[in-house]
Structure 1
Amino acid sequence: MIISSSIITGFVRLCLMILFLFYMNRKFISYTKSVTYFDFIAKQWFKYGSIIILLVFGLVQLGIYNLLNTVILLLLVIYLDYFGIKNIPQSINITSQKVKRNIFELIQNIELKKPIGFFVLTRSNPEERNNRLWYLFLLSTLGVVAFYSRYIFYQFDMFSLSGSWISDLESIIDFDSQQWFTNGVVPIGELAMINFYGKFVSISPEAALQSAGILEAVLISVLLFWVINTISHSKIIAPLVAALFFSVSYTIMPVNITYILQHQSLFLAISFALPAMVIYLKPGFMHSNNINSFINYILAFTAIGLIDIFTLIVLIFPFLIIGLLTSSFKHKIQNLVAISAYIIALAILFAVYGIACNHFGDDFKLFIHSGLMSVSAYTYFSHLIVSYEQLMIYYQYLSYGSIICCLLLLFFKNEKWNAALCFLLYFNFLVFLSEINHNWIDNDLVKLSLGIFIPVVLGISIALIIRITYFFYTKTEVIKPAFAVFLIAGVLYSAFHYQEKEFRKLHKTDNVPRDLINVYEKITLSFYPYSYAVVNDYTTQPISINKHFFIHYTDFTANYLKRDSVYFKNKKNKKFLKKNPEYVLPNSVLVFIYKKADDKSNRIIVNCEITPLILSKLEVLKKRGRKVSVFYESSLIKVFEIENVPGQSKTDDLIF
């Protein structure tokens, strides 16, 4: 198996949870409003996604972070948001009245012998329900396409078990030890979200880390559909093109294929920035007053600052200025509210990071500079069908034509293309910024961000073409769904057919890291925590944290036989074992044997020369009467289980 089953399991659980929350929202809260799945995801992610990051940050500082505390506080926030602070004293009466009314309606509908579907389905007319099913199909398609388009790159993955991967895993696990700033003062809000995601969908930290890059791609794809759907007059075709273009177009996009599965704090931060940008240009989307908008902006900007300083300062601030100049006159007040919230959020973050720098003895100016740069982000676009510079010229020409069309429609047709115009101007600003050589601007990060905003330009351009050909387009309203399905099939076929040549140039990486992660997943699911130990190389030790005991090969070959002899000789002597705990053995010991060295990278140290020595130690244990069996075996890895106390380590044995 190329990919860990937990990655798929976690993704499916998350999708089902989102659908359940949407159903509950439509059934009991906003059943009178027409809200699509894309609107729901964008709005709730912008609001509650930000709150989750802030809650994790606050709870870690208080030393009480865990899933239960986070969920309880999140539910409390949702409760306050639903009723409003002013209505909290009357919230019990309001709730009881609604419950009584719903019970009365339920009894009434039962007496009227309504069908079961009436009680299960949400309150909406058939046309709206059919429209919602259509959007569910589009959402599912985009999610599956974005997921699979990243999944196929696991065979070329260079990130798994690399030094950066191990460091990130250690930081993710450190949140459980109530530590935020462990490797210096750096923005690690993305890793905090990965930790929460792993707990929320009940998967291991390493599986959550492995899936982070895919989930970010899926989220960006969904948000791109929503952005074009919201800022243009095209509701399906142009948004679909933008989302699919981001998901499957690799040879005409500035992306690093080799490290495409690596999570990017830039992408997670932009996933919050995109809703903020659209709401900034179209404030009516949130259906809230200036005070609520002000609070939401502060929360979102602060969360972005905890994730990525570069996005907050270099990407968002210029957009706020361009948006202020291009937005309609009636939105200027809301724009100023957002800018005020941005300034306050910046002050809050500077205070937090300033205190942290002072506490840990770091230089604040150096922190800001390092936050605007990224040592793990680099741009190597050898897979592009044309040079990067030539590609940007083509996209700029496309944006120039779209800007002219937007201006013509704005001034001569009095149509609302302000938001689209803002994004087009902003794209050209990013292209200009990517060409500036300055030690405070990371050109690689700017180029990576262009990989998200290029699909926005393409989506706007398609929407403008549809608008210009509107007379013909109105005649084809009936076949729009069929055309959308044809478009999906056509884009996917073209992506595979015209990019297959470039994909063949990629070199497959060794499967040892992926196989190793799969083995650890099986072990975690099979054994009770801390009832067993794992014998492996030091490189893999972070995977053992908070799960089981760890024994290095050197310790195993040098000391294990002596420990085994002393332990079984004094097994019933509780006083001796209590006085000499170093001789106590776990109920089971799992010994990793690598059949093939990882000769294509230095991600893990695989020393096959030590294998005969380990096997000889296992043979000695067998002669002593210890039960040694094969727990797992593949073409790359073989895992032996030494059962010191049979039936006392595996979860199934303990339960049944």
Structure 2
Amino acid sequence: MILFLFYLNRKFVSYSRSVNYFDFIAKQWFKYGSLIMLLVFTLVQLGIYNLINMIIILLTVIYVDYFGIKQLPQSVNIIAHKVKKNIFELIKNLELKKPVGFFLLTRSDPKERKNRLWYLFILSVLGAVAVYSRYIFYPFDLFSMSGSWLTDLESVVDFDSQRWFTNGVATIGELAMVNFYGKLVSISPEVALQSMGILESVLISILLFWVVNKISYSKIVAPLAASLFYSVSYTIMPVNITYILQHQALLLAICFALPAMVIYMKPGFMHSSNRNGFINYILAFTAIGLIDIFTLVVLVLPFMVIGLFTSGLKHKLENLIDLGAYFISIAILLMIYGIACNHFGDDLRLLIHSGLMNVSSYTYFSHLIVSYEELMIYYQYVSYGCILICLLLMFWKNEKWNAALCFLIYFNFLVIISEIDNNWIDTDMIKLSLGVFIPVLLGISVSIVIRFAYFITTKTEVVKPAFAVLMIVGVLFSAYFYQEKEYEKLQRTDNIPKEIISVYERITATYFPYSYAVVNDYTTQTMSINKHFFIHYTEFMSDYLKRDSIYFKNQKNKKFLLKHPEYVVPKSILVFIYKKPDDKTNRIATNCKMVPDILQKIGILQKRGRKVAVFYESDLIKVYEIENVPNESKIDDLIF
């Protein structure tokens, strides 16, 4: 989707400007990603949140943003003029018998197009590596359908009921984005929640490439090293490898913070005016605050203070304007959370404290090749050397390493406060955030090495692409070869939760909402919200046969059914049967002893004339469909 939008942008909008994929993603994510976050929040408060309203408002904002307030009255004439011009060019090129490729390719010189294809290759590789490096942990996943997962799913589904604060006032902006992401790509909330962790990792991997690309003199090799280091280096990174697939508000907030940090150090890169920068920063900081208070207060503010001292003199005014935007967003967030706390009777101070001290976060780094403390010492030594070299290059060669210097000092700041024992600082969260900023340190280190080999690299431009490909292959091979023992230590988890999510996705895509019911364990009841009716095993065993009998005896008696709606049965019933416990501990509380009795009830229903078929079957799960009203539940039957 992003690549298609980039193509449209280059083909019809900004074809005269030079921009690569990474710049496009970072800019649009910073601007419109934060806008989406705030739109979801606003529409939920107004009670009108849905995908259509989101798209209409978002397209309207993009339209206004493209033309500007001053040109908005003339926008229709401008569009008409461009359409006429393009039609004239199309007719002219058809008469000149231009090849098909001419109409499909964007208007740019061959050299720029070649560079863009090279960046497209890198983007594709980084995305594929980030996805696969997380996907291989699915057999060891402990998060899917855990208690925390089900609680998060309930919050994700609640947004469709126009509720933001359900179980008290909390920062749940990330779950709102999960809801919108699921709607946008037409997947169920369960799959969206399960895959959000991978999506966050992919986005950070791409943004890390972009960050190092912008703050250093290396445009390919160092950014590539930073991104690959984040994606595949687990034994030298502070990450919770057993919960690596879990979505984290911290990571999504950092996805907004990274562009904000780079643009803060290089203000002219994105904003055409201080006013635009001021507005975009208010949107971004407010979005971060709705997602994760810790990131906004503990991670973003110190960086901005450090950046104020390390940025160039010509950027000081812009930095102060951005700081002003930061404190305005803090005031907006205090107003939002203050009103919510007053309405729900919660304590604002307790909310802020819980946002800074996440009780669900923890650090367990048994997979590291050395202890965490020793590893940080090594990284600090590397950062000290880089700081010294950056200062020398800045004052001796008058080179602009200000942004890199800021990130290096900031890294050391995070390491220091990660050792502070304070009730208002969550050291576990800081250690986890270091997993994002350590790759930046590595990227800066590689770029400095390349800087001193500049006299060689400038003469070997042809070798650079080959070296980049060789580095990708080498890093991936090294990651597997040197970390294979850690993979072998991981224990495979129960496959039933993952299979249940897959089956529910298939059911949702097959059946019309609320035309069917699912018979399953209480653990899965949350997955039924806003989709279908839910029947627990005990209810099915004790009451359903009676309910079925009464309904079909009075099927044509509408007065009776209106008076006794409790006897109306859904048009289809889907019964989950768990064949056997998985090899590992089964987290779904299913009593296998009930299976013969359930099958007996299904047999009785079949003798009564109900059509029974197998909807899904595997080694672990079998799902029966009891069809009470033929061709009235499946979407294909209703359409055709």
TM-score range, shorter chain: over 0.9
Q: Distance in 1 between matches of 2:360 and 2:586?
A: 17
Which among 278, 285, 291 is matched to residue 294 of structure 1? 278
In the TM superposition, residue 565 of structure 1 has moved relative to its aligned partner by 1.0
Q: How many residues align?
A: 640
Asked whether the equivalents of residues 163 and 603 of structure 1 are also in contact (C-alpha less than 8 Å), the reply is no
Asked whether the equivalents of residues 598 and 605 of structure 1 are also in contact (C-alpha less than 8 Å), the reply is no
Q: SS state of the match for residue 460, structure 2?
A: helix
Residue in structure 2 matched with residue 335 of structure 1 by the alignment: 319
Residue in structure 2 matched with residue 528 of structure 1 by the alignment: 512
In the TM superposition, residue 111 of structure 1 has moved relative to its aligned partner by 2.9
What amino acid does structure 2 have at the position aligned with 1:498? Y
In the TM superposition, residue 377 of structure 1 has moved relative to its aligned partner by 1.2
Residue in structure 1 matched with residue 111 of structure 2 by the alignment: 127
Asked whether the equivalents of residues 228 and 239 of structure 1 are also in contact (C-alpha less than 8 Å), the reply is yes
Q: Distance in 2 between matches of 1:267 and 1:347?
A: 23
Once the two structures are superposed, residues 46-89 of structure 1 have per-residue CA deviations (whole angstroms, 9 ceiling, x without a partner) of 00000000000000000000001001110111111111112212
Q: Distance in 1 between matches of 2:180 and 2:150?
A: 18
Which among 377, 393, 399 is matched to residue 377 of structure 2? 393
1:441 aligns with 2:422: no
1:548 aligns with 2:527: no
Once the two structures are superposed, residues 563-612 of structure 1 have per-residue CA deviations (whole angstroms, 9 ceiling, x without a partner) of 11111111222221121111111111011111223685574212212212
Once the two structures are superposed, residues 421-461 of structure 1 have per-residue CA deviations (whole angstroms, 9 ceiling, x without a partner) of 00000000000010000010001100000000000000000
Distance 1:325 1:481, change over 3 A: same
Structure 2 unaligned residues grouped into runs of 5+: none
Within 5 Å, give how 1:358-373 maps onto structure 2. Answer: 358-373=342-357
Residue in structure 1 matched with residue 155 of structure 2 by the alignment: 171
Asked whether the equivalents of residues 496 and 586 of structure 2 are also in contact (C-alpha less than 8 Å), the reply is no
In the TM superposition, residue 502 of structure 1 has moved relative to its aligned partner by 0.6
What amino acid does structure 1 have at the position aligned with 2:75? S
Once the two structures are superposed, residues 151-198 of structure 1 have per-residue CA deviations (whole angstroms, 9 ceiling, x without a partner) of 010000000001111011111111110000011111111111110010
Q: Distance in 2 between matches of 1:443 and 1:359?
A: 32
Q: Distance in 1 between matches of 2:146 and 2:583?
A: 14
Residue in structure 1 matched with residue 480 of structure 2 by the alignment: 496
Asked whether the equivalents of residues 198 and 245 of structure 2 are also in contact (C-alpha less than 8 Å), the reply is yes
Within 5 Å, give how 1:214-225 maps onto structure 2. Answer: 214-225=198-209
Q: SS state of the match for residue 573, structure 2?
A: strand
Q: Distance in 2 between matches of 1:120 and 1:167?
A: 47
In the TM superposition, residue 633 of structure 1 has moved relative to its aligned partner by 1.2
In the TM superposition, residue 532 of structure 1 has moved relative to its aligned partner by 0.8
In the TM superposition, residue 651 of structure 1 has moved relative to its aligned partner by 2.0
What amino acid does structure 1 have at the position aligned with 2:377? I
Residue in structure 2 matched with residue 39 of structure 1 by the alignment: 23
Asked whether the equivalents of residues 9 and 15 of structure 2 are also in contact (C-alpha less than 8 Å), the reply is yes
Q: Distance in 2 between matches of 1:370 and 1:598?
A: 37
Residue in structure 2 matched with residue 193 of structure 1 by the alignment: 177
Residue in structure 1 matched with residue 501 of structure 2 by the alignment: 517
Residue in structure 1 matched with residue 268 of structure 2 by the alignment: 284
Within 5 Å, give how 1:301-340 maps onto structure 2. Answer: 301-340=285-324
1:645 aligns with 2:611: no
Asked whether the equivalents of residues 162 and 602 of structure 1 are also in contact (C-alpha less than 8 Å), the reply is no
What amino acid does structure 2 have at the position aligned with 1:511? N
What amino acid does structure 2 have at the position aligned with 1:573? N
Residue in structure 2 matched with residue 236 of structure 1 by the alignment: 220
Which among 97, 105, 125 is matched to residue 113 of structure 1? 97
Query: What CA RMSD, in Å, does the superposition of the two structures yield over aligned residues?
Result: 1.1
1:610 aligns with 2:581: no
What amino acid does structure 2 have at the position aligned with 1:492? L
Q: Distance in 1 between matches of 2:487 and 2:124?
A: 26
What amino acid does structure 1 have at the position aligned with 2:4? F
In the TM superposition, residue 334 of structure 1 has moved relative to its aligned partner by 0.7
Q: Distance in 2 between matches of 1:350 and 1:287?
A: 27
Structure 1 runs of 4+ aligned residues shifted over 3 Å read: 597-603
Q: SS state of the match for residue 272, structure 2?
A: coil
1:54 aligns with 2:38: yes
Residue in structure 2 matched with residue 559 of structure 1 by the alignment: 543
Which among 66, 69, 73 is matched to residue 82 of structure 1? 66
Q: SS state of the match for residue 458, structure 2?
A: helix
Residue in structure 2 matched with residue 137 of structure 1 by the alignment: 121
Q: TM-score, normalised by structure 1?
A: 0.96
Distance 1:106 1:623, change over 3 A: closer
Q: SS state of the match for residue 550, structure 1?
A: strand
Q: SS state of the match for residue 378, structure 2?
A: helix
Structure 1 unaligned residues grouped into runs of 5+: 1-16
1:95 aligns with 2:79: yes
Distance 1:346 1:69, change over 3 A: same
Q: Which moved more, 1:47-56 or 1:619-628?
A: 619-628
